[in-house]
Amino acid sequence: MRLLPLALKSLRNRRFTVALTVFTLALSVCLLLGVERVRTQTRESFASTVSGTDLIVGARSGPVNLLLYAIFHIGDATNNVSWQSYKEIAALPDVAWSVPISLGDSHRGYRVVGTSADFFTHYRYGAKHTLSFAQGDAFSDLYDAVLGAEAARKLGYRLGDGIVVAHGTGRATIAEHKDKPFRVAGILQATGTPVDASVFVSLAAIEAIHADWQYGTRLPGAGVSADAARKLDLTPKTITAFLLGLKSRVATFGVQRAINEYEAEPLLAILPGVTLQQLWGLVGIAENALRLISALVVLVVLAGMLTALVTTLTERRREMAILRALGATPLTIFGLLLLEALLLAACGALAGIALLYLALAFTQRALLDGYGIAIALTPPTATELILIGGVLLAGLVAGLVPAALAYRNALADGLTIRT
Amino acid sequence: MNASLAAVLPFRETTVELRDLQFAWRGAAPLLDIENLSIARGERVFLQGASGSGKSTLLGLLAGVLLPQRGAVRVLGNRINDLRGAQRDRFRADHIGFVFQMFNLLPFLSVRENILLACRFSALRSQQVSERGTLAAEADRLLAALDLDPALIGAKAVGELSIGQQQRVAVARALIGAPELVIADEPTSALDADARAAFLGLLFAECQRAGTTLVFVSHDDSLAPRFDRRVALAEINRAALPVRSARAAGR
């Protein structure tokens, strides 16, 4: 006796409630897989916030701390690195390139990063993507600024606009470098990294705006005009951190040791990939919470399916009695109900996958632009297949309840039709 | 196996035999206590009983869905109360056609699919039909014999049929594959007098053609004269007392 056609036709007969059940299941499966996909993609893009940089160097503190302030612009450096040390390390034979970073100023809540134009050629993110300019170019004049995509979009800047840099990093800074305004020379493409929320100026510009400053305040009466500042020696005395690219990755640990044992001042060199993983370990609790919640949603929906199946049992006792009269064993009835639950779960899972790809296809662009999360329309991963298998298994387990009830009814009712 | 078994057993001319049968629902007083009831092959028996007298319970025992506490239920020579559950279900599928009072058909299957459902559960009946033609052709032949136009209603949904038509489709399903015994539980109670008479005529004709034994249960004695024999449950049931009947009715 093949139960499948019977189960299918019975489900089709109840197509409205069945469609509702499948639809809610599809939504929950879509949520489960969507969370999984966004989670892995987020982790991947996080882990590759900095790629292609072999070492990040700053004053000695903790690795995560250095990564947080140098790359994510969270918190402040405890100490600076002398320009002298920077030049010496940059000149090591294994070093291919170096990019200095000087932090400390901000513009309307966005960090101002003093760096060299090399930043735009050497900084890599994701799968070794380089930064590219949406508009304009890197700085050519002393008072040129380059904006990250988010900073430009949120603040509504266009090329040629003037901006004033504020001293300090708080949102409510009072002291502004009003006498030396910058011009927006370039706007970067979105990257999904902290670069998007940064304002880049040259190191020399950082020196220039602080020419008449000492110990964190403006020296009274010692005003240096914007043009006068151009004529000063704008070589910085200190920087906050710097990025290093090596000629060969084999040299990484040697150079790292050399920097960590550097005698002139206490420095710390970190491997960005390793420290990013450590940092993700801290953030990871949230991702597990997300997974847990989406798994719970699936369970709740399956409980709903169970309820829907159980409530139909009363009206289907007649159907069961007819099948029993035709020779169906109680076990057949059990199998029929279990098969229906499995079919519902399978339809829900399939529809959920379809819904996920549909949603991804429509939101792919927005996710990349708005959040920098690049989600590719790739086939389901092994983890996702395991999740789908888990949903089917849970559906089967949920189906055991109505199946067992129908089995019990079938034994008790016999051929008596009860309604 | 049952066909060959029946051939060598001395009961070959007896389709149904109950002996010293006792049945009680759990925790209740005995509902049925029947010393002897035997129904010959091809016989058309009218089993009369009031509501709650234990008619349906008796049919459950005949069909092998219920088991007696004592005694034997023999159908086609097989002591079916000795068979295991799944074997009894199999036996029922192979040898017994069942017609309920009403709502015999699955609403989500077409008329033809409903009839063929009996063959789906029984390889034996399916095979018996296949020896002479296709399953669909036999279903259509039965529909035509029962005064229903197969071309017109074969593919129809069950809900589009009148009650009388539905009952005749149920008869077609009970008869397909020529089971030896057909049990009908008040199949005409939802029909008017004319339809009832026509229904009985068609049912008898088909049973006769296939040599089928018919056990027809009803509380309506006016139908009894058309049967070979009338059996009143109250007369053969030694447990039939008014008090017990009332209790059973309340169950």
Domain shared by A42 and A63, yes or no: no
DSSP assignment string, A103-127: EEEEETTEEEEEE-THHHHH-EETT
Whether residues A237 and A340 share a domain: the answer is: no
| Residue A170, pLDDT score | 62
pLDDT for B243 beyond 60: no
Residues of B at the A interface (Cβ-Cβ below 8 Å)?
56, 59-60, 63, 65-66, 85-86, 89-90, 92-94, 98, 100-101, 103-109, 113, 117-118, 120-122, 173, 185
By Cβ distance, the residue of A9, A328, A414 closest to B109 is A9
Q: What is the pLDDT of residues A323-366, one digit of tens each?
A: 988 888 889 999 999 999 999 999 999 999 999 999 988 888 88
Question: Could you report the predicted ipTM of this complex, rounded to two decimals?
Answer: 0.85
Q: Looking at this protein, which amino acid is placed at residue B111?
A: V
Residue B129: half-sphere exposure toward Cβ, Cα within 13 Å: 26
What is the value of pTM for the model shown?
A: 0.73
A407 plus A316 within the same structural domain: yes
pLDDT above 80: residue B133? yes
State chain A's mean pLDDT as an integer: 86
Nearest-Cα residue of chain B relative to residue A414: B65
| Token reading at B99 | 């017609």
The enclosing domain of B140 has a CATH number of: 3.40.50.300
Of A270, A291, A326, the residue at which a domain comes to its end is A270
Residue B250 has pLDDT above 50, yes or no: no
Q: Is residue A418 part of a domain?
A: no
**pLDDT for residue A81 is more than 90:** yes
At A323, which helix (H) or strand (E)? helix A317-325
Tens digit of pLDDT for each residue in B22-50? Answer: 898 888 888 888 888 999 998 999 998 88
Backbone φ and ψ of B249, nearest 5°:
-65, -30
The number of domains in chain B is 1
Count the Cβ atoms, other than its own, within 10 Å of residue A63.
18
Report the run of H or E that residue A340 belongs to, with start and end: helix A330-371
Per-chain mean pLDDT for chain B: 85
Query: If pLDDT is split at 50, 70 and 90, which confidence band does A174 have?
Result: low
**Average pLDDT for B219-239:** 88
Question: Is a pLDDT exceeding 50 seen at residue A117?
Answer: yes
B92 with A331: Cβ contact below 8 A: no
Apex CA A95: angle with CA A92 and CA A97, to 5°?
125
Could you tell me if residue A276 is inside a domain?
A: no
Q: Do B60 and A326 touch (CB under 8 A)?
A: no
What average pLDDT does range A313-328 have in this prediction?
86
Look-up: residue for tokens 């024999």?
B229
How many contacts (CB atoms, under 8 Å) link A and B? 67
**Structural domain count of chain A:** 2
The answer to whether the CB atoms of A327 and B59 lie below 8 A apart is no
| Residue in B66, B92, B110, B171 to test binding to A, most A beta-carbons within 10 Å | B92
Report pLDDT for B8: 46
Residues A26 and A167 in one domain: no
User: Do A196 and A252 share a structural domain?
Assistant: yes
Closest CA of chain A from B64, distance in Å: 9
Q: What's the CA gap between A85 and B206, in Å, rounded?
A: 108
Among A326, A333, A411, pick the best mutation site for testing chain B contact (most B Cβ within 10 A). Answer: A326
Average pLDDT over every residue of A240-268: 92
Among A102, A192, A104, A203, which residue's Cα sits nearest to residue A148? A192
- Element housing A8 (H / E): helix A3-13
- Is the domain of A321 the same as that of A339? yes
Task: Inform me whether the pLDDT recorded for B11 exceeds 70.
Answer: no
Give the one of B100, B108, B109 whose C-beta lies nearest to A417's C-beta: B100
Which residue range is the domain that position A298 belongs to? Answer: 3-46+282-413
- Confidence at residue B146, expressed as pLDDT on a 0 to 100 scale: 86
Which domain-ending residue is among A241, A270, A299? A270
DSSP assignment of B94-118 equals: HHEEEE-SS--S-TTSBHHHHHHHH
Residue B169: which domain range? Answer: 2-250
Give the burial string for B22-55 (b: 16+ CB within 10 Å, else e).
bbbeeeeebbbbbeebebebbbbbbbbbeebbbb
Domain boundary among A211, A241, A270: A270
Query: Taking CB atoms and an 8 Å limit, are B106 and A322 in contact across chains?
Result: yes
Task: Indicate yes or no: CB of A327 within 8 angstroms of CB of B104.
Answer: no
Summarize the confidence of residues A124-151 as an average pLDDT: 88
How far apart CA A192 and CA A131 sit, in angstroms, is 11
Asked if B65 lies within 8 A of A329 by C-beta distance, the reply is no
Beta carbons of B108 and A9 less than 8 Å apart = yes
The answer to whether the CB atoms of B89 and A329 lie below 8 A apart is yes
Please report, for residues A417, B19, B250, the alpha-carbon distance to residue B23 in angstroms, rounded to integers and kept in the order given: 20, 12, 17
Contacts of A324 in chain B (CB under 8 A): 65, 89
Cβ-Cβ contacts under 8 Å, B117 against chain A: 326
Span A273-295, mean pLDDT?
A: 84
The predicted-structure confidence for A374-401, as pLDDT tens digits, reads as follows 777 888 888 889 999 999 999 999 899 9
Helix and strand totals (H; E) in chain B: 11, 9
